[in-house]
Structure 1
Amino acid sequence: MKNTTTLSLSAIATSVAVLLSSNVLAEDEIQDMSDPLAVFTQAGLGYTDKGLNLKIGQTYDTGSDITMGMNIIEVKGIAGEAMGWNGRGADDSIDSLRYRNFTVDLTNGRGAQVDVNLGFDGPRGTQGSASYSFIQALPKMGPVNLYPLAGMGVAFGDSFDTDNAGALQAQDRWDIHGTFYVAGLYGKVEITDKIWLNYNPMYMGSVSGSDAYKANAFGIESGKILLHEAVVSYQINPRSNVRYYANWNENNRFETGDHRIEYNYQF
């Protein structure tokens, strides 16, 4: 079953305009764009093997002098059939949406993140997840920075039941499928003052839910998966950079994983 949810480019543009026109917290100074805990108002445009990505990040007043906050919205897989490479764009509607709320405590280098993902083009219709996690900056070790992460989440989306023949049948409802944990880290290696590398492994596993969910939560029978993300970044100037991302896992090798080039600008 394929979900036919679509979102016009005009609707995307309207949503972005509304986000940018709301109260934006002025930055006192330019933030370090290589720091995973940096909070700043930003925009990004990505070219991927599944189409175009659009990212908007906006800071907001947390009401505290020692914390900073930021909301980020990403629209992924725009015009995938026309713009993606390797023929991986399913169609010209969007592939997925992602929303993140991120806060950081300036006194101890600890961040907290709400991460909501909603995918439309999977084999089981519309499926999503929502998680809450903590991130902690560790002391710098030469050119290396590490930021461990741990959290819990819930999976939801279109419901499927098994018929008498064992085949999956779509149901006209959404269900909460189960819960999962995530543990990993963001890793950064500084090559020069303009070039840095990231490696961000994340280990996820099912915790509760139906037997079918716990056994196949991430597309493999173990109900657990190790996700890999590698990034090469170049800082063009203090306000802009270009980044190359590669994402893969045990189901998809590096060559068949997701790849994108992204330009980011700090306002």
Structure 2
Amino acid sequence: MKKSLLFLLPLALPAIAETDNEQELQDMSDPLAVYTQAGAGYTDKGLNIKVGQTYDTGSDTTLGMNVFEIKGFAGEALGWADTADNSIDSLRYRNFGVDLTNGRGSQVDVNLAFTDGNGAQGSASYSFIQALPKMGPVMLYPLAGAGVAFGETFDTTRDDAQALDRWDLHGTFYVVGMYSKIDVTDKIWLNYNPMFMDSISGSDIHKDIFDNELLHEVSASYQINGRTNIRYFANWNQDSNFADGDHRVEVNYQF
């Protein structure tokens, strides 16, 4: 049950970068860059597809982007996790806003996971992120937010935990954490993104799942050219080790 929380951990947050009418290429290594993009990934649970589109916010000092992801399909044929199957593992939608005047971003993050034995379970959160001054090769981006957990409800008094054919709001939670970027060379960089989550209110099961949950994400990236990079990600928590976590390799292209 705890491991299912790994899908809640955000990927690298798009970055603060001003665009003009000619759509100049943005720094894809910046954890706060906003640009139209597409990506494909190979994971232990199958294939991932990601599409991101910038939009006009109506202000010269803010940027916005929507990102939609389909994760973990064709897993039985191509994945290597014991739980992999050919159905979709999860869906994710994110909306980003960035204020260019103060280096502050915000995000809406909605996840819906389809897990064996737990039915469809999801979360929706809103958080703020602040870029701090660069310290040599290191950039830090503290984050804080809150959200709700929702999904199918089960009759827990039954041994087979039968679904009750309804969706409920399970409870609320908060999240505090940090995105970080470490430049190795002008084409290679590393990220470490720890997130701590805890319940605010809700059912006993919800409180147990979100009880002092510490999530980890690390990535190593290589910029092939101005438009294309390849990235390796690993996600795990305090109840699993690095090897048992989620792993993926993805290629991203900037339009």
Counterpart among 92, 103, 110 of residue 109 in structure 1: 103
**Cα pair distance change 1:167/1:92, threshold 3 Å:** closer
RMSD value over aligned CA atoms? 1.5
**Which secondary structure state, in structure 1, belongs to the residue aligned with residue 155 of structure 2?**
strand
Among the aligned pairs, what percent are the same residue? 70
Give the Å deviation of 1:168: 3.7
1:180 & 1:63 partners in 2: Cα distance? Answer: 32
Which has the greater radius of gyration?
Answer: 1
2:91 & 2:21 partners in 1: Cα distance? Answer: 26
Aligned residue number for residue 97 of structure 1: 91
Which runs of structure 2 are paired with 1:134-153 in the superposition (5 Å)? 134-153=128-147
Instruction: Give the aligned residue type for 1:207.
Output: I
**Cα pair distance change 1:60/1:27, threshold 3 Å:** farther
**Which secondary structure state, in structure 1, belongs to the residue aligned with residue 171 of structure 2?**
strand
> Is 1:257 aligned to 2:245, yes or no?
yes
The alignment covers a number of residue pairs equal to 236
Counterpart among 35, 40, 44 of residue 45 in structure 1: 40
TM-score between the two structures when normalised by the length of structure 2 = 0.89
Which runs of structure 2 are paired with 1:124-163 in the superposition (5 Å)? 124-163=118-157
Structure 2 residue ranges without an equivalent (≥5): 1-19
Higher alpha-carbon deviation: 27-36 or 236-245: 27-36
1:130 & 1:176 partners in 2: Cα distance? Answer: 11
2:23 & 2:81 partners in 1: Cα distance? Answer: 43
Give the Å deviation of 1:122: 3.7
Instruction: Give the aligned residue type for 1:61.
Output: D
TM-score between the two structures when normalised by the length of structure 1 = 0.85
1:235 & 1:151 partners in 2: Cα distance? Answer: 31
| CA offset digits 1:178-227 (Å, max 9, x no partner) | 0000100001110000000000000011110122321x224xxxx12100
Counterpart among 192, 201, 204 of residue 194 in structure 2: 201
> Is 1:170 aligned to 2:163, yes or no?
yes
Counterpart among 214, 217, 236 of residue 229 in structure 1: 217
Structure 1 residue ranges without an equivalent (≥5): 1-24
**Cα pair distance change 1:266/1:27, threshold 3 Å:** farther
1:247 & 1:107 partners in 2: Cα distance? Answer: 33
Aligned residue number for residue 56 of structure 1: 51
Instruction: Give the aligned residue type for 1:217.
Output: I
**Cα pair distance change 1:27/1:243, threshold 3 Å:** farther
Instruction: Give the aligned residue type for 1:104.
Output: V
2:234 & 2:189 partners in 1: Cα distance? Answer: 15
- Bigger relative contact order, structure 1 or 2 (CA pairs below 8 A, ≥6 apart): 2
